[in-house]
């Protein structure tokens, strides 16, 4: 059996893993990153890049690449007889967003990791771990027919929502709070360079009922748009729907307005743990980041910015702590706890039958209210912001945490 060793092993080459690997390597550590796929590879995602994600990508050195991508001004929100153009609003963040197919985005960030000195091993599936107490001694992998051990002082787990290693490390996803069920595809559009991402907040099901979710269209600037639908669910109120049927129905409703042509390409669906609704996100020498840690926005299903951020934060913690068991969950709660607590509480309310049809029309009639909603739903409140919206959002979130029966990441 072959073995590899390094200071840091990163499992997963998506935005969170590649970000963690790049930042760790830049701090002088030897880093190996493994991923079960051969890049470039695709992944189920809405492909949207919020200003917060743009900020992280610039920090990684991808500013020049972003300049070649289409820039969007904000959100076109439609529904309940209204349409609003809502510019991105965050005092500490760039004033633009973008969208990029994950097959390209992830490959770009992985290349940044390689350029930073990371040793990338593709086509390697992490299957199990050897443990001493809560310390990982080795990660057991398979590459073709070969079983290979990877030993490292620190392990960063970034293998996504399903997290193969999560099962071995007793990570648990709690579905009593809101989680997402979503599907996306690509389709040709004459409006592929539209300057706004679009969200349709009045998403209706097969029986014309209003669903607790939304449809989206994100222009990609390459002749296509990313089109998708997503709904919220909990254990008490599961999402009982046919995602492919809903996708087809939504696409046909938008075909004329968005000048769509041809069939849906690469339809893909996923279930998403949201709002830190996972426990067991750290041990003595390992940390979960990104989707694997449940770092997905409960109000819009977005996770790329959290993935990039948690990767950077995990790399920083490598130099700050010798035991991550409590330090890492505490770090995640410090950065995201209040926002995840209130957001998943609100998301849970949206699954209550009749609530969205009642409140949706009220909200859409107020542009000021929707501007605030975009800022908090888009994760555009940063720790540096001290304006009224930021203070109220943080204060409400901290109050919400006091009533959580299980805090985020607990």
Predicted pLDDT at 1: 77
| Domain span(s) for CATH 3.50.50.60 in the chain | 2-72+92-175+274-337
**Per residue in 247-279, pLDDT tens?**
999 999 999 999 999 999 988 988 899 999 999
| Domain span(s) for CATH 3.30.9.10 in the chain | 179-272
Q: Between the CA of residue 318 and those of 21, 26, 97, 126, what are the distances in Å?
A: 11, 12, 30, 21
| Contacts of residue 121, Cβ cutoff 8 Å, sequence gap at least 6 | 4, 32, 33, 34, 35, 143
Contact in structure between 174 and 279 (CB atoms under 8 Å): yes
The CATH T-level fold of domain 179-272 is: D-Amino Acid Oxidase; Chain A, domain 2 (3.30.9)
Contact in structure between 156 and 18 (CB atoms under 8 Å): no
| 282 phi/psi in degrees, rounded to 5 | -160, 155
H or E stretch covering 317: helix 304-317
**May I ask the CATH architecture of the domain 2-72+92-175+274-337?**
3-Layer(bba) Sandwich (3.50)
Q: How confident is the model at residue 127 (pLDDT cuts 50, 70, 90)?
A: very high
**Per residue in 47-59, pLDDT tens?**
999 999 999 999 9
Stronger pLDDT, 60 or 347, i.e. the higher one? 60
Predicted pLDDT at 362: 85
Predicted pLDDT at 266: 87
Q: Half-sphere exposure of residue 405, counting CA atoms within 13 Å on the CB side? A: 3
| Residues 276, 205, 75, 62, CA torsion sign | positive
Tokens of 196: 């706004």
- Tell me the mean pLDDT in the region 55-65: 98
Q: Has residue 350 got a pLDDT over 90?
A: no
**Across the chain, how many H-helices and E-strands are there?**
12, 18
**Per residue in 188-238, pLDDT tens?**
999 999 999 999 999 998 888 898 889 999 999 999 999 999 999 888 888
Query: Considering the chain, what is the average pLDDT of its residues?
Result: 94
Tokens of 76: 């076109």
**Per residue in 170-192, pLDDT tens?**
999 998 888 999 999 999 999 99
Q: What is the DSSP letter of 72?
A: B
Q: Has residue 393 got a pLDDT over 80?
A: yes
Whole-model pTM?
Answer: 0.96
């Amino acid at each position: 059996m072959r073995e590899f060793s390094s200071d840091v092993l990163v499992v997963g080459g998506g935005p969170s893993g590649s970000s963690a690997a790049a930042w760790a390597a830049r701090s002088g550590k030897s880093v190996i990153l493994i991923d079960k796929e051969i890049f470039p590879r695709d992944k189920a995602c809405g492909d949207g890049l919020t200003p917060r994600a743009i900020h992280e990508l610039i920090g990684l050195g991808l500013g020049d690449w972003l300049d070649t991508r289409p820039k969007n001004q904000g959100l076109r929100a439609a529904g309940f007889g209204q349409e609003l153009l809502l510019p991105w609003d965050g005092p500490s963040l760039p004033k633009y967003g973008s969208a990029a197919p994950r097959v390209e985005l992830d490959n770009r960030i992985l290349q940044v990791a390689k350029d930073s000195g990371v040793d990338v091993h593709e086509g390697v599936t992490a299957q199990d771990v050897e443990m001493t107490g809560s310390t990982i001694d080795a990660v057991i992998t398979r590459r073709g027919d070969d079983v290979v051990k990877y030993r490292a002082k620190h392990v960063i787990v970034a293998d996504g929502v399903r997290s193969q290693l999560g099962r071995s490390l007793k990570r648990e996803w709690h579905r009593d709070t809101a989680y997402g069920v979503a599907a996306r595809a690509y389709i040709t559009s004459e409006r592929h360079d539209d300057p706004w991402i679009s969200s349709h907040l009045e998403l209706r099901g097969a029986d014309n009922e209003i669903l607790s979710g939304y449809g989206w269209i994100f222009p990609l600037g390459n002749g296509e748009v990313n089109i998708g639908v997503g709904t919220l669910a909990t254990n008490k109120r599961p999402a009982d729907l046919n995602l492919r049927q809903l996708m087809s129905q939504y696409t046909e409703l938008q075909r004329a307005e968005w000048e769509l042509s041809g069939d849906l390409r690469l339809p893909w669906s996923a279930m998403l743990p949201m709002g830190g609704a996972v426990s067991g996100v750290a041990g003595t020498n390992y940390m979960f980041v990104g989707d694997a840690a449940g770092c997905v926005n409960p109000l819009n299903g977005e996770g790329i910015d959290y993935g990039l951020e948690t990767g950077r934060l995990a790399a920083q913690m490598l130099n700050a702590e010798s035991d991550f068991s409590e330090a890492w969950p505490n770090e995640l709660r410090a950065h995201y706890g209040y926002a995840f607590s209130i957001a998943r509480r609100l998301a849970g309310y949206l699954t209550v039958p009749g609530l969205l049809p009642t409140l949706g029309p009220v909200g859409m009639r107020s542009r000021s209210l929707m501007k605030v909603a975009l800022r908090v739903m888009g994760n555009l409140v940063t720790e540096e912001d001290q304006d009224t919206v930021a203070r109220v959002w943080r204060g409400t979130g901290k109050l919400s945490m006091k009533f959580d029966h299980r805090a985020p990441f607990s």
